[in-house]
Structures are given as structure tokens and as C-alpha cells.
Amino acid sequence: IREEESGYNKNLFCIPKHYEEDLETVFIPHGLILDRTERLARDIMQDIGSHHIVALCVLKGGYKFFADLLDHIKALNQNGDKSVPITVDFVRIKSYC
């Protein structure tokens, strides 16, 4: 997102009441994030070929994105021409501080 872009008006979205006062604008709408996640899954499936996928999630911050990405990869795996084995694992990393 470029600095000169101000984002989307928050009135265009359903914002939970407890965030209404804290939020000024929405920079990236959820639908756009989901679309880009699906595209990333397609790119991964295209690039990986028939190789085994090892998916590693960094816990706490990354689990939701990881789950969404894996859902798209699994859907492509089930509905595509090829089926690629997937191994899933999780790691927990401490902060640098």
C-alpha cells in the first residue's frame, strides 16, 4: 500500500462495535486478502509440480492465514488433475526481545 493511499471508508464494512472508535479506515479488505491467499495457493500448486508439500506454520500470529492457505491448497489438490501429498507441522518461536 502506497503512503498516499488512505484506504477504504470504514462505513463500507461491518465493523465490530468494540473496534468502531479505534478504527479510522480499512487498508486491505478481507475479501482481497482471501483472493490473494487463493492465488498464492494456485501459484504454490503450479510451482510445486508433483513434489511433496511440507507446510510449516509459525504459531500464534500465522495460524489463521496458514489455515486459509491450506484450505485452498487442499481444495486444489482434491479438484485438480494431480494429488500432492501434504505434511503439516507447527513451530513456536520466541520473540527477539
**60 and 92 in contact (C-beta within 8 Å)?**
yes
Bridge partners (DSSP) of residue 88 are: 55
- Domains annotated for the chain, with CATH where assigned, are 30-92 (3.40.50.2020)
C-alpha cell at 72: 485452498
3-state DSSP of 59-75: CCCCHHHHHHHHHHHHH
**8 and 34 in contact (C-beta within 8 Å)?**
no
Whose grid coordinates read 510451482? Answer: 47
pLDDT tens digits along 14-47: 888 888 888 888 888 888 889 999 999 999 999 9
pLDDT tens digits along 39-68: 999 999 999 888 899 999 988 778 889 999
Is the model's pLDDT at 76 over the cut of 60? yes
